[in-house]
Structure 1
Amino acid sequence: MNETRRSVSLNPATVKTRRCVSFCDTLGAVPTPDPGRRSERARKAILDATLALLHESGYPDLTVEKIAARAGVGKQTIYRWWSGRGAVVLDALVEEIGEAGPPALPDTGDLEADLRLVVRAIVAELADPRLSVTTRALTIETLSSETFATTMRDRLLRPQLDTIKDRLRGRVREDVDLDQAVELLIGPMYHRWMMRTGPLTEAYADGIVDLALAALRPR
């Protein structure tokens, strides 16, 4: 008996060989790189590089090109996320201290003692060149750009000042402008630091608190 063989036409373009199936399946299993994760790694590298360069050579020597080279990214990546070196420094500092808000002021029940602790801590930071290098960089940018100054105040400075203001509320004369009261405590330190008019010491910090409270306390 003769078998009738049916001829089947196969289109090579639609046929997968066993090897092709195995290769294609394996290829399909390769995870697609997560652009979000890659971007976060690049962002972290940029912020770390910024702080490292800032501590090594100071703000005048800091450039976007040097940050990019240290972070291993193109400078266009930095400009895609930040307007310039000052904005990168601000983000790096915020990242370093965290955006959870300012630490709570000590509350021992003694306003003078609590303010002494806070003002001493600020003076100690300003007196340490390594700790104050980011503050000096931000100050330079603040004096150069009103837009940057607004951003810096809102993100970094205002929360700290508001915390001190809340502590003073109800504990100083009713006619006192609380914003001015806070500046009476904080302003002298920054003036001495910026103008280098004298040493930043604990005795100086305590003197600021004594003079401020003498003017602010209810008569």
Structure 2
Amino acid sequence: MNATPNPELRSQRSRRAILDAALELAVRDGYARVTVDAIAAAAGVGKQTIYRWWPGKASVLLEALNDRTGPARDVPNSGDLGRDLTSGTQAVVRLLDSGLGTVWRALVAEAQTDPGLAEELRASFFEPRMQRWQARLDAAVATGELRADAPTRTMVEHLFGPIYYRLLLGTAPLDPADTAHVEYFLNGVRSPDCP
């Protein structure tokens, strides 16, 4: 009996091969050296397959990063806000200090001159994570742990801003053990009524 190939399964395999190849090439060779032709060759697909799903290499790599890091998850809520913020920021630092961080930095740089990529980056990566962290800080405001007079969206930007500043400008190494900025952050936004 001759089975007909499942085009859905073939598409999933091709998509997986493309995402894996794009990320591997970008980590190994650097973002600037990656081309759609190179991704197609490494994935064993035609470049028209890539262009059917993505407008170019930046979009492929953004999806590959999102795929590798997983969807925005609920943030830690152990009952100890300081511990939750520390573990959350350490996870981000570990990710950005890996080979994926170099790809991430290149995508952010590319987004400065590509409004479509900038919007895609905000919508698919930053905004879902921003909302999760904002919900965690909203809960801390509701319990009186954090001040109610500062917008929690701004708080999230202040919490993660130093990490991205170091990544993008190279002002200091990314070190998961360096969590001093979390304590500085908490000193600024802790409710005066919270011990």
- The TM-score, its normalising length taken from structure 2, stands at 0.86
The answer for the alignment partner of 2:180 in structure 1 is: 207
- The aligned amino acid for 1:91 is E
Mean Cα displacement is larger for which, 36-45 or 50-59? 36-45
Matches within 5 A, 1:1-80: 30-80=2-52
Q: Distance in 1 between matches of 2:174 and 2:70?
A: 26
CA deviation profile, 1:9-51 (whole Å, cap 9, x unmatched)? xxxxxxxxxxxxxxxxxxxx53333322222222222112111
- The aligned amino acid for 1:95 is D
Mean Cα displacement is larger for which, 30-39 or 67-76? 30-39
Q: Is the 8 A contact 2:65 2:100 kept in 1?
A: no
- The aligned amino acid for 2:81 is L
Q: Give the gaps of 5 or more residues in structure 2.
A: none
Q: Is the 8 A contact 1:105 1:118 kept in 2?
A: yes
Q: CA deviation at 1:87?
A: 0.7
Q: Is the 8 A contact 2:166 2:174 kept in 1?
A: yes
Aligned pairs, number: 187
Q: Distance in 1 between matches of 2:185 and 2:53?
A: 42
Q: Does 1:164 align with 2:133?
A: yes
Q: CA deviation at 1:196?
A: 0.7
The answer for the alignment partner of 2:107 in structure 1 is: 138
Q: Distance in 2 between matches of 1:98 and 1:211?
A: 29
Q: CA deviation at 1:203?
A: 5.2
Distance 1:203 1:68, change over 3 A: closer
Q: Does 1:119 align with 2:119?
A: no
- Tell me, what secondary structure is at the counterpart of 1:32? coil
Q: Distance in 2 between matches of 1:201 and 1:40?
A: 36
| Equivalent residue for 2:124, pick from 142, 147, 155 | 155
The answer for the alignment partner of 2:189 in structure 1 is: 216
Q: CA deviation at 1:138?
A: 2.4
Distance 1:202 1:34, change over 3 A: closer
Q: Distance in 2 between matches of 1:201 and 1:45?
A: 32
The answer for the alignment partner of 1:9 in structure 2 is: none
Q: Is the 8 A contact 1:86 1:137 kept in 2?
A: no
- The TM-score, its normalising length taken from structure 1, stands at 0.78
